[in-house]
């Protein structure tokens, strides 16, 4: 989808009858009955349903692969090789192709890669939550793996521009998670000891967590000693910053429980909104625990334009602002096999001209609406 936002023509190949599994991951659904999960990651795509065990449909897939700049697949390891669609086969007829395979646990392992499973076996749940292991509230491993794949694809495109060489890219959920655990996985590698669950506290920074106030919790995220000193002054306790127990971050980490009690006692004298105003005025990073609806409202208030509308349907915007090539929102998530005729038409002639003509037709239709 992000490649589509950048202007790529993306053809989504799905199984006949039921298509992508996320089409049925509901509720919730939008006002047209489409699963919001599917809508969230499938704009700017053309859909064609192909049965890769059918010779006729497999031939269409092969022709697509021969014309494509990029092929992304997440079949079980080796499945496409037996259908003539593996990298070794496709690269013969299309040596410049950038072929990205995404798996759960590497190209030699058949175990399915669901986000929850990888959060568990990859250690993320072991450092998330309080007493009980807890998953992150979104399929974060899927997301970071997709971002790693996107980065690799763009790097491979740059390499091809310089050398005319395509290549095989292999991305997997487990490795992507371990990389994305950053300081936590680095701790395990460099010390041989696994980090433990700390709830909302941070292993290396204090204060950096939610604190109770007179009415609700307020997050304070102090990242350096200067911010800590300003926080102390704003709370009416400037002496804390000079106290040897708290003067440096190392000292605060060692005395985190004592400092937490002092901060909580002070914050209990006023509301979260009141303290937020005081602390922000002192340039101390802080904020409430918002709902997602409140978070979208905040982004809108800050002028970040978090929501866009395409064909009358609201969607979360691409987060990047480009000064010369802004994100494109040409199409909402497609119905299953909705673009079969168009995709087959692309295979009959030069690809670029009909794509541009088709986009112009879609834009004209939206203008008429």
Q: What percent of the chain has pLDDT over 70?
A: 94
b (16+ CB within 10 A) / e for 206-237: bbbbbbebeeeebbbebeeeebbbbbbebbee
Predicted pLDDT of residue 109: 83
Please give the C-alpha separations between residue 191 and each of 117, 184, 194, 201, 250, in angstroms, as whole numbers. 26, 11, 8, 20, 18
Q: Is the pLDDT of residue 31 over 90?
A: no
pLDDT of 134 over the 90 cut: yes
Rg (CA), the chain: 25
How far from the centroid of its chain's Cα atoms is residue 297's Cα? Answer: 20
pTM of the model: 0.89
How long is the chain? 369
CB 121 within 8 A of CB 174: yes
More reliable by pLDDT, 362 or 41: 41
Mean pLDDT of the chain: 94
28-32, 54-58, 323-327 — which is least confidently predicted? 28-32
- Work out the average pLDDT over 41-61: 96
Indicate if 59 belongs to the active site. no
Q: 2-183+294-368 domain in CATH 3.40.50.10540?
A: yes
* More reliable by pLDDT, 9 or 363: 9
Portions of the chain given CATH number 3.30.1540.10: 208-289
Q: Which helix (H) or strand (E) holds 147?
A: helix 140-163
pLDDT tens string 62-103: 999 999 999 999 998 889 999 999 999 999 999 999 999 999
Alpha-carbon gap, residue 313 to 333, rounded angstroms? 10
Q: Which two tokens stand for residue 256?
A: 């985190």
Q: What is the pLDDT of residues 262-271, one digit of tens each?
A: 999 999 999 9
148-177 per-position pLDDT tens digit: 999 999 999 999 999 999 999 999 999 999
In the chain, where does the domain assigned CATH 3.40.50.10540 lie?
Answer: 2-183+294-368
Q: Which two tokens stand for residue 286?
A: 């802080």
pLDDT level of residue 350 (50, 70, 90 thresholds): low
**Residue 303 and residue 305: Cα distance in Å, rounded?**
6
CATH 3.30.1540.10 is right for the domain spanning 208-289: yes
Q: Which range has the worst mean pLDDT, 23-27, 109-113, 137-141?
A: 109-113
Q: Are the beta carbons of 288 and 216 closer than 8 angstroms?
A: yes
* Least trusted range by pLDDT, from 251-260, 280-289, 311-320, 348-357: 348-357
Structure tokens at 289: 């625990």
Distance, first Cα to last Cα, the chain: 25
Mind listing the pLDDT tens digit for each residue in 206-258? 999 999 999 999 999 999 999 999 999 999 999 999 999 999 999 999 999 99
Q: How far apart are CA 8 and CA 27, in angstroms?
A: 30
CA–CA separation, 11 vs 6, rounded Å? 14
**Has residue 354 got a pLDDT over 60?**
no
Catalytic residue selected from 5, 20, 115, 142: 142
| Residue 185 φ then ψ, to 5° | -70, -30
Of 118, 119, 88, 115, the residue nearest 101 (C-alpha): 88
Q: Residue 358: its pLDDT value, please?
A: 66
CA–CA separation, 253 and 231 (whole Å)? 16
What is the mean pLDDT of the segment spanning 324-335? 95
The predicted pLDDT at position 320 comes to 96
Q: At 17, list the tokens.
A: 């009858």
């Amino acid at each position: 989808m992000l490649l589509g936002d950048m202007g790529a023509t993306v053809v989504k190949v799905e199984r006949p009858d039921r298509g992508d599994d996320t089409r049925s991951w509901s509720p919730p659904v939008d006002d047209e009955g489409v699963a919001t999960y599917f809508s969230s990651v499938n704009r700017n795509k053309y859909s064609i349903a192909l049965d890769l065990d059918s010779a006729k449909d497999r031939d269409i897939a092969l022709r697509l692969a021969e014309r494509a700049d990029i092929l992304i697949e997440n079949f079980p390891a080796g499945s496409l090789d037996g259908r003539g669609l593996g990298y070794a086969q496709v690269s013969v007829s299309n040596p410049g192709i950038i072929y990205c395979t995404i798996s759960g646990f590497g190209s030699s392992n058949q175990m399915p890669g669901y986000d929850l499973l990888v959060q568990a076996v990859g250690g993320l749940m072991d450092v998330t939550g309080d007493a009980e292991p807890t998953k992150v509230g979104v399929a974060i491993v899927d997301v970071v793996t997709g971002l790693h794949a996107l980065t690799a694809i763009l790097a491979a495109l740059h390499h091809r521009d310089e050398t005319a060489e395509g290549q095989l890219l292999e991305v997997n959920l487990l490795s992507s998670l371990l990389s994305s655990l950053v300081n936590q996985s680095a701790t395990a590698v460099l010390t041989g000891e696994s980090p433990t669950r700390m709830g909302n506290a941070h292993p290396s920074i204090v204060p950096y967590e939610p604190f109770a106030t007179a009415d609700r919790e307020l997050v304070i995220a102090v990242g350096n000693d200067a911010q800590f000193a300003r926080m102390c002054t704003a709370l009416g306790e400037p002496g804390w910053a000079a106290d040897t127990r708290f003067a440096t971050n190392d000292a605060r980490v060692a005395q985190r429980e004592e400092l937490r009690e002092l901060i909580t006692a002070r914050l209990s004298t006023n509301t979260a909104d009141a303290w937020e105003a005081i602390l922000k005025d002192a340039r101390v990073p802080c904020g409430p625990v918002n709902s997602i609806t409140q978070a979208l409202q905040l982004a809108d208030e800050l002028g970040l334009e978090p929501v866009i509308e395409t064909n009358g349907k609201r969607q979360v915007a691409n987060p990047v602002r480009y000064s010369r090539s802004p994100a494109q929102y040409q199409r909402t998530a497609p119905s299953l096999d909705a673009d079969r005729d168009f995709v087959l038409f692309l295979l009959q002639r030069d690809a670029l001209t009909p794509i541009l003509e088709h986009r112009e037709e879609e834009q004209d239709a939206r203008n008429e609406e």
